[in-house]
Amino acid sequence: MKAHWHLYRVTPEDTIEAQNICRRLIEESGENSMAYAVLCFSYGWDLICGWVERTPKETIEKAVQTS
């Protein structure tokens, strides 16, 4: 999955791209478990690296909702 490549580059821009790819895959087929997993993992990068303006609590809630 191309989202993995972006996610493991560990940059804010690539993490956003990985999230966008996963969201598109989920929209196309809500049964893509790998897309959900990568999306959840990407929220972990957001949390650990502080790349988003959400609070840590909001980021965790977003990951839990996605899982």
Supply 51's token pair.
């790349």
Mark the ranges of the chain whose per-residue pLDDT is less than 50. none
pLDDT in tens, 50-65: 888 888 899 889 888 8
The predicted structure's pLDDT at residue 17: 97
The predicted structure's pLDDT at residue 21: 97
Q: What's the DSSP call for residue 10?
A: -
The predicted structure's pLDDT at residue 53: 86
The predicted structure's pLDDT at residue 51: 86
Domain regions of the chain by residue span: 2-66
The predicted structure's pLDDT at residue 67: 76
Residue owning tokens 């821009």: 13
Model pTM score: 0.86
